[in-house]
Amino acid sequence: MSVRVRIAPSPTGSLHVGNARSALFNWLFARHHGGTFILRLDDTDVERSEEHHVVQIQESFRWLGLDWDEGVGVGGPHGTYRQSDRLDRYAEVVDGFLARGIAYRDFRSPDELDELRRAAQAAGGPPRVPSGASGDPVADLARAEAGESFTVRFAVPAEGAVEFDDVVRGPMRFDLANEDDFVLVRSSGMPTYHLASTVDDVDYEITHVARGEDLLASTPKHILITRAMGAEPPTYAHMPLLFGPDGKKLSKRHGDTSVRAFMDAGYLPEAMFNFMCLLGWSYGEDREVFSKEEAVAAFDLDAVGKNTAVFDTTKLDWLNGEYIRALDGTDFVDRVRPMLGDLDPEQERRFEAIASLVQERTKKLPEAADQVGFLFVADDAIEFDEASWRKQMTKDFSRPALEGGLAVLGDLEPWTTEAIDGALRGNLETQGLNARKGLQPLRVALTGSAVSPPLFESMEVLGKDATVARLERALSMVEDPAGD
């Protein structure tokens, strides 16, 4: 049997990391077993489904490196892979159920149903609403045709249980006495998620349904529908939900958790991929950094743990830094360059000369772009970060540091990192300043900020004239301290 798995997002918003993690695990499982990964759209919520979300969902998957073999955008033997194009098929299944008495039209109002539920609870029995089947489908059809509002419900057997072995959670059992006759078709005529999703899973011959644990309670319904269609249920794997580092379910309070937000923040897709693999699965051997190929070779659904997975962006930042450092130097330059705008040849030279030093120190690419910005600005146009200026340029050591630096750099030959290093360190001793007091003002003068690539190398790359011009300009702007 060849593995067929799917991810079925609803195009009602951005793709969130929870859904992306489900997609990733399905993808890894399919690739590990040489199976088929399918992208289907659960778009029966016509009012909220929008085409730009469809586009953005596909972009997010592509960015993460999750390619799909069948489905939206790539086609396959099952039509458009959009539920909104399959309404006739769902109606056909429901008509079959109605004809066999497996489903019925329910004309009761929501108020009536609430009343019945309360009564069932008050009686101390299972909170199940009694069946609303009239036992007279012909009369029901006449009422429907006369325009009365109704839903179609699945007639859940009064007794027995649905049992299945969940790959992640082990043996599961749901007593049917607790299950309501659930809705298959809403009063609007639209199919519910339970109906559409299950019919698709059957028709697309899905072998494994791996999805978030929040859908566990839906599974007995899906199994009942599947069996009623004369099919064998797929294997289910309900994966742990994502939590924030504060122990609360991942939600808006944890910031924007759309894949798009991580894309826009400049994370490397490889790092995001690696990070998301760790949300419920572990590579083993205590390894946290591994390639896509290694993950495919090692992954299996039965190794997914039951414990909640913590979505910790500190870890993502760390991993991203690891991936940035592991990039080939030209690859790093190529990824940062688009963030820098147009560079003239001299600016390009400066950037390439300093790139490897920045690469060692950045956790995110946009940070790297920020850090090299000083290389592209005219010497008299450096803008000073306010906090850095206050901390380094308004103190009693500020002026002596700049003057001392200028004194030893003005005639320095040759203009190399090593020579600059020697000259400035020698001066620290002469002036009796430590590196923090003696060099930080120079860094601010040169780059505008107290955080920058290494100082001596930056001076070498800028050249003597630019270095001296920047130190002189800053010196002319330093005001004597009011006392500290």
Catalytic residues: 252
Please report, for residues 52, 118, 387, 457, the alpha-carbon distance to residue 439 in angstroms, rounded to integers and kept in the order given.
51, 75, 16, 13
| CB 113 to ligand GLU: min, Å | 25
Distance CA(72)–CA(39), nearest Å, equals 6
Return the number of the residue (13 or 400) whose C-beta is nearest ligand GLU: 13
Query: In this structure, what token pair is assigned to residue 264?
Result: 């826009």
Among 31, 33, 194, 211, contact with ligand GLU (rule: CB under 6 A): 211
CA distances (Å), 319 to each of 260, 265, 268, 324, 480, in order?
Answer: 18, 14, 9, 9, 44
Which stretch, 2-10, 106-114, 122-130, 162-170, contacts ligand GLU (CB under 6 A)?
2-10
- The answer to whether the beta carbons of residues 253 and 228 sit under 8 Å apart is no
Between 132 and 234, CB nearer to ligand GLU: 234
Query: Cβ closer to ligand GLU: 10 or 14?
Result: 10
Decide whether 202 or 333 has the Cβ nearer to ligand GLU: 202
Contact track, ligand GLU, 4-43, x by CB under 6 A = ----xxx--------x----------------------x-
**Cβ atoms 296, 32 nearer than 8 A:** yes
Here the tokens at position 269 are 């897709």
* C-alpha 122 chain-centroid distance: 45
Q: How far is the CB of 317 from ligand GLU (least distance, A)?
A: 28
Q: Which segments within 138-220 are labelled E, that is strand?
A: 151-154, 161-166, 170-175, 183-185, 208-212
d(CA 5, CA 209): 6
| Closest residue by beta carbon to ligand GLU | 42
- Which of the 8 DSSP states describes residue 75? B
Least distance (Å) between residue 42 CB and ligand GLU = 3
Please, which residues bridge with residue 237 across strands? Answer: 210
Nearest-approach distance from CB 225 to ligand GLU, in angstroms? 12
Nearer to ligand GLU, 19 or 371 (CB): 19
- Residue 84 lies near ligand GLU (rule: CB under 6 A): no
Of 36, 56, 58, 197, the one binding ligand GLU by CB under 6 A: 197
Q: How far is the CB of 370 from ligand GLU (least distance, A)?
A: 37
Residues that bind ligand GLU (CB under 6 A): 8-10, 19, 42, 197, 211, 215
